[in-house]
A and B are shown apart, each in its own frame.
Chain A
Amino acid sequence: MVRPEPRSAAAAAVVAAALLAATISLAVTAVLRPAAATALRPAARAARAAPAASSARLEDQSSWQRCAVPAHLAKGQIVVPIVVDFGGRDAKVLVTCIVTRPGDTGAQVLQAQAPLLGYSVPRYDASGSGLLCAIDGYPASECGTESGNHYAYWAYWHGGGKRWQYASDGPGEWTVSKGDVEGWRFEPDGSATPADPPPRAPSNPTELEMPATTMGTATATTRPPGTAGKSSSSSRSNAGGGGKGNTTLGANAAGPVRQSADSRSGTRTRKGLVILCVALIVLIGAGAYGRSRRKSSHAS
Chain B
Amino acid sequence: MLRRRLQPLHPIAWWCWAGTLAVAASRTTNLLLLGLILAVVAWVVSTRRGNSPWARSFGALLRLGLFVIAIRVAVQVLFGDRVPGDTWFTLPSVPLPHWAAGVTIGGPVTAQAAIGAFCQGLQIAVILACFGAANSLASSFRLLRCVPAGLYEVAVAVTVAISFTPQVVLSIARVRDARRLRGRATTGLRGWRGLAIPVLDGALERSVALAASMDARGFGRRSSSPKRRRLTAAATLAGLVGLGVGLFEVLDSGSASGIGLAVIILGGALVIGGMAGASHGSRSRYRPDRWRAAEWLVVGSGLLAAGAVVAAGSDPSSLTQPLYPLGLPAVPLAALAGILIATLPSVVAPAPAPVRAQLQEVAA
Contacts and interface: CB of A to CB of B under 8 A. Distances in A.
Contacts of B98: 46, 48, 168
Given A124-B324, A128-B323, A291 B102 contact: no
Contacts of B75: 26
Interface string A32-73: 101111010101111110000000000000000000000000
Contacts of A105: 82, 84, 108
Interface string A1-29: 11011001000000001100110111011
Nearest to A280: B36
B102 A46 contact: yes
Contact of A35 (B87, B252, B321): B252
Interface string B31-70: 0100110111011011101010000000100001001100
Interface of A: 1-2, 4-5, 8, 17-18, 21-22, 24-26, 28-29, 31-32, 34-37, 39, 41, 43-48, 105, 107-108, 110-111, 122-124, 126-130, 132, 168-173, 249-251, 254, 270-271, 273-274, 277-278, 280-282, 284-285, 287-289, 291-292, 295, 299
Given A46-B98, A295-B49, 19 more contacts: A2-B183, A4-B186, A25-B124, A28-B127, A34-B253, A35-B253, A46-B102, A105-B84, A107-B84, A126-B317, A170-B84, A172-B83, A172-B85, A173-B82, A278-B32, A281-B32, A284-B36, A284-B343, A288-B43
Interface in B68-123: 68, 71-72, 75, 81-87, 98-99, 101-102, 104, 107-108, 110, 112-113, 115-117, 119-121, 123
Given A2-B180, A172-B82, A48 B46 contact: no
B140 interface: no
State the 6 A-B residue pairs at the shortest beta-carbon distance, nearest first. Answer: A128-B116, A35-B254, A107-B84, A172-B82, A288-B42, A168-B101
A173 B113 CA distance: 12
B209 interface: no
A107 to B, nearest CB: 3
B26 interface: yes
A282 B121 CA distance: 20
Contacts of B45: 288, 292
A196 to B, nearest CB: 17
Contacts of A5: 187
Given A2-B187, A25-B124, A281 B39 contact: yes
A287 B82 contact: no
Contacts of B59: 292
Nearest to B82: A172
Given A29-B72, A285-B38, A123 B67 contact: no
30 contacts: A4-B176, A4-B180, A17-B64, A21-B64, A26-B75, A31-B248, A35-B253, A46-B99, A48-B99, A105-B82, A124-B323, A126-B317, A128-B83, A128-B112, A128-B115, A128-B119, A168-B98, A170-B82, A172-B85, A172-B110, A173-B81, A270-B330, A273-B331, A274-B331, A277-B336, A278-B32, A281-B38, A282-B39, A284-B42, A284-B343
